[in-house]
Amino acid sequence: MTPEENPPAWKSIDELLSAMRAGNRLALARLISKIENRDRDLPEIMKKLYPLTGHARVLGVTGPPGAGKSTLVDRLIAHLRLLKKRVAVVAVDPSSPFSGGAILGDRIRMQSHHLDPGVYIRSLASRGKHGGLSHATKEVVLTLDAAGFDYVLVETAGVGQTELDILKLAQTVVVVLVPESGDSIQVMKAGLMEIADVFAVNKSDRPEADKLVRELLTMVGMADHDEKSWLNPVLKTEAHRDVGVAELLVAVESHQSHLTASGKRDAKLRDFLQEEVGDILTERLNETLKNAFQTASGQAVLEQLVKREIDPYFAAQLIST
């Protein structure tokens, strides 16, 4: 039996939050599970938790499968721990039938940081609900922030809309590429520049690494910019040999300073909050919709719709009033 199956019985949300703030892992895990399961206590939890947020640096790490993201995240954790920073990792996997959905890197990290109380690692997987995963991830990040972690790393496989939504919640996004990614750079230029703040060319001991670095630098140079713009650094890393990781962290810190100095940190926070409010209302609408067609009047609307006596837009009006 794992501890989570038989956890202490906290008597109230306040007790649970106090335990979490005091560093209790089970309390933290319990809160995150409540978020994942969209517990009905969420409004109360967020009410008490939200004032405690605003301290963590939230970093996104993304890139195509096989780029070595997990190893790089593992190395970033190690470096941040040397700096005495508390680090949480949220590995997000919007599983699809064609991707499978296993985050293998977790096992590695779990092993190397298992006994370190300054590191917390959690995977979040899709429950199949549209938009639900990025909403839950936002609230998990807020929770880890409130729990006192200095850094929250959000790792995604970066292949779809959900991942892009998730990355919006990061202050600094590191896009990890490998020399083999070169060929596909051309087609993904626009999208990459939109999400990346720092590029890491990983496995840079391989041939073609310098070519990819040049391509990325050219891309960065061609983007619209003025003297106040952030020019995305392009760094070479070899995560498995711990090469370039300290430099990557310097680039991340430099971007964090830029965020503050340029006023973009505040703008990002505002965007994040507007999205969170939107997610809450969307979730509420989805709850309403789930039940709307179960009532007698809802059934009658559906019947008219099936017989094509009314159209979907009119039905929507009937359902929502």
The residues facing 91 across adjacent strands are 123, 155
Per rule CB under 8 A, count of chain residues that contact its own copies:
68
Q: What is the DSSP letter of 244?
A: S
Query: Of the two residues 116 and 311, which places its CB atom closer to its own copies in the complex?
Result: 311
Interface positions, 59-78, toward its own copies (CB under 8 A): 64
* Structure tokens given for 168: 């919006």
Q: What is the DSSP letter of 236?
A: E
**Does 33 interact with its own copies (rule: CB under 8 A)?**
no
User: What gap in Å lies between CA 282 and CA 264, rounded to an integer?
Assistant: 26
Rounded to the nearest whole angstrom, what is the least distance from the CB of residue 145 to its own copies in the complex?
Answer: 12
Q: What is the DSSP letter of 310?
A: S
For 151, list phi and psi in degrees, rounded to 5.
Answer: -125, 135
Binding mask 128-147 for its own copies (x = CB under 8 A): x-xx----------------
Secondary structure (DSSP) of 155-186: EE---SHHHHHHHTT-SEEEEEE-GGGHHHHH
Interacting span for its own copies (CB under 8 A) from 2-10, 158-166, 204-212, 232-240: 158-166
Binding mask 82-121 for its own copies (x = CB under 8 A): ------------xxxxxxxxx-------------------
User: What gap in Å lies between CA 25 and CA 313, rounded to an integer?
Assistant: 48
User: What gap in Å lies between CA 308 and CA 321, rounded to an integer?
Assistant: 20
User: What gap in Å lies between CA 97 and CA 79, rounded to an integer?
Assistant: 35
Interface positions, 194-223, toward its own copies (CB under 8 A): 194-195
**Does 287 interact with its own copies (rule: CB under 8 A)?**
no
Query: Of the two residues 2 and 321, which places its CB atom closer to its own copies in the complex?
Result: 321
- Residues near its own copies, by CB under 8 A: 42-43, 46-47, 49-51, 53-54, 64, 94-102, 126, 128, 130-131, 158-165, 184, 187-188, 190-192, 194-195, 266, 269-270, 273-274, 276-278, 280-282, 284-286, 289, 292-293, 302, 305-306, 308, 311-316, 319-320
